[in-house]
Every structure is written in structure tokens, then in C-alpha cells.
Amino acid sequence: MQSRAATGRNRSKRPKRLSIDPDVSAQQTPDVDMSASLADIRRAVTNDIYDIYMLNCASFVEAWSVMALGMWQERGDTLDVWYSHDGRLAAYYLGQDVLDEVHIMQIAVAPEFRLSGLGRRLMQYEIERKRAAGMASMHLEVRASNRAAQKLYTSLGFETVGRRNAYYAAFDNHPAEDAILMSFNL
């Protein structure tokens, strides 16, 4: 992943769970307030870029600029957004197809929606779409310290295939960090 993924968050505080369509209702738990649905996943449009930028800033050590994010959207790469019914950007996914390989650039879930199953559902959505499109594999890089993301990917079937030393350069108070390379055969 070209992303500079942020360190995983503490799981002690579980946020409200978003609503999901009946086909994924098995993911629900009874103690949560449902407010978004899988049908809300859609391609990003220009007007979404600022929301994506804000979530990007809240999620990654080294955020991308509005211009950079807008460029990915204009290029027609896979930039999908998932809004809640009350209009908050709950999650987004950015990936690039290169021949039959999908390169996952970024996935982020808004802090207030984390640990609700959204990251998993969004990844499953993208996996199913890319499988149906005939893509062969998915690849990503993730910070060595980002255990949350690594657990998510591993639970989906991604395997660690390598490590790049100091792939993430030192930034602000964050030292340089290795990237873990992960892949998934579709």
C-alpha cells in the first residue's frame, strides 16, 4: 500500500455499530444503533473529497492532500465512500488496479465508527467486486506497528509476504517504520 497507515486504536471503547442491509444482518449485534447500510457504499464524487481528506487526516500519520486525493478520484481508480444516513463519512477505500492485481492504497474508518465491523464489510465488498471483475490478487503495505489493520487483513485471508525496511520515512514525531507486505489471492 502506498498509504502511510496509522497505528491501530485501542479497542477498549466500542463505538456504536452502523446499520447494514439484511444480507449482512448476521454481522449485527443487538446492543448497537444502526444508521448506515451497505447500499450506501458508492463511488466517490468530487464533492466527497474534502470529507475523505478529513478522515484521511484523522487516520494516517502522514495525510495526503486534497489535491492528491482528488487526483485519484479523477483518474477513475477505485475510490469508494460509505456515508451514514446522517451524512457522516463513515469509511472510504482507495485501490488501484494494475493489470490483474489490485493495490490497496488506503482504507479508513472514522474513529467513531471503528470496531463496528465496517472495515471488514468494506474490505469484503471490495474483494467480492474485484473477484467478480476477474482480478487475480490484492496487495498492500501496512505499518509494522498497525496491529489493528494487520488483524483485519489476516482475518480476511491476507498473508504476510514480506517486509520493507524503513519504508515509511520519519514524519513529525514518528520515527521511520518498516512496512509489512500482505497479499490475498482472489
Ligand X SMILES: CC(C)(COP(=O)(O)OP(=O)(O)OC[C@H]1O[C@@H](n2cnc3c(N)ncnc32)[C@H](O)[C@@H]1OP(=O)(O)O)[C@@H](O)C(=O)NCCC(=O)NCCS
Catalytic residue IDs: 141, 153
Least distance from ligand X to the Cβ atom of residue 123, Å: 8
Residue that has been written with the C-alpha cell 498509504 in this structure: 3
81 scored as a contact of ligand X (CB under 6 A): no
Neighbours of 133 (CB within 10 A): 12
Per-residue contact flags (x/-) with ligand X for residues 8 to 47, judged by CB under 6 A: xx-x------------------------------------
Q: Smallest gap, in angstroms, from Cβ of residue 71 to ligand X?
A: 19
x-marked contacts with ligand X along 93-122 as a string, rule CB under 6 A: --------------xxx----xxxxxxx--
The rounded distance, in Å, linking the Cα atoms of 128 and 42 is 14
- What pairs with residue 138 in β-bridges? 102, 184
Q: Among 94-102, 126-134, 146-154, 167-175, which window interacts with ligand X (CB under 6 A)?
A: 146-154
In angstroms, the CA 41 to CA 91 distance is 9
Q: Which residues pair with 139 in a beta bridge?
A: 103, 183
Cα separation of 74 and 92, whole Å?
A: 16
Q: Would you tell me which residues interact with ligand X (CB under 6 A)? A: 1, 3, 5-6, 8-9, 11, 59, 107-109, 114-120, 142, 146-149, 151-152, 155
